[in-house]
Amino acid sequence: MTAARTDLSAEFLEMPEDLRIDRPDVADGAALWRIAKDSGTLDLNSSYSYLLWCRDFAGTSAVARDAEGRPVGFVTGYVRPERPHTLLVWQVAVDAAHRGRGLAARLLDGLSARVSAERGLSVVETTITPGNTASERLFMSYARRHGAPVEREVLFGTAQFPDGPHDPEVLYRIGPFSV
């Protein structure tokens, strides 16, 4: 992260009393699948993939929990093997009842702060389909908060998807941050 933001301002990361952010575990997989399904915008993966994600990529993912410990939002990601200081954010979703409270931004900031502290982080990447303005706003505001440049390029074009029509996936590369 940039020197000015390595502490990730406590004011921004402060959570409402009824919510907390931590690592997902396998027991959260079904809830993450449901939140993704109910989002109406994410490409829904199999329920099996969310279980595996919570097992194998918990260290590079985050879940927001309500007062009873139920998942109400998540961000999944992984560190790119060839680029160990690059976090690829796979999916971000918040349950409809908890939207509009800045939870997605808190999840993203909390996850990137944790990954930065544990491994060092120089770049955050994600892909966004054209027209997904909520994701564009989330990641552009993340870049502004951290004073980081953003590069965009088509990562996967429409013709590369074998299962029918799919919008292109545009890669957003945010950074570099100081490692």
Task: Tell me the whole-structure pTM to 2 decimals.
Answer: 0.87
Q: Burial, 174: exposed, middle or buried (Cβ in 10 Å; 0-12, 13-18, 19+)?
A: buried
> Tokens standing for 25?
């575990």
What's the pLDDT at 9?
Answer: 36
Beta strands in the chain (DSSP E): 20-22, 62-65, 71-80, 83-94, 123-128, 150-156, 169-174
pLDDT at 6 over 80: no
Euclidean distance between CA atoms 4 and 140, whole angstroms: 18
What's the pLDDT at 18?
Answer: 82
Euclidean distance between CA atoms 107 and 49, whole angstroms: 20
Give 97-112 pLDDT, tens digit per residue: 999 889 999 999 999 9
List the one residue out of 59, 75, 1 whose CA is nearest residue 25: 59
> Tokens standing for 7?
């502490």
Euclidean distance between CA atoms 172 and 90, whole angstroms: 12
pLDDT at 19 over 50: yes
Question: Left if phi > 0, otherwise alpha if psi is -120 to 50, otherwise beta: which for 85?
Answer: alpha
pLDDT at 155 over 70: yes
* Residues present in the chain in total: 179
CB 148 within 8 A of CB 175: yes
Pairing mode, if any, of strands 83-94 and 123-128?
Answer: parallel
Q: Which residue has the higher pLDDT, 59 or 10?
A: 59
> Tokens standing for 179?
């490692």
Q: Chain centroid to CA 104: how far?
A: 8
Residue 76 pLDDT level (bands cut at 50, 70, 90): very high
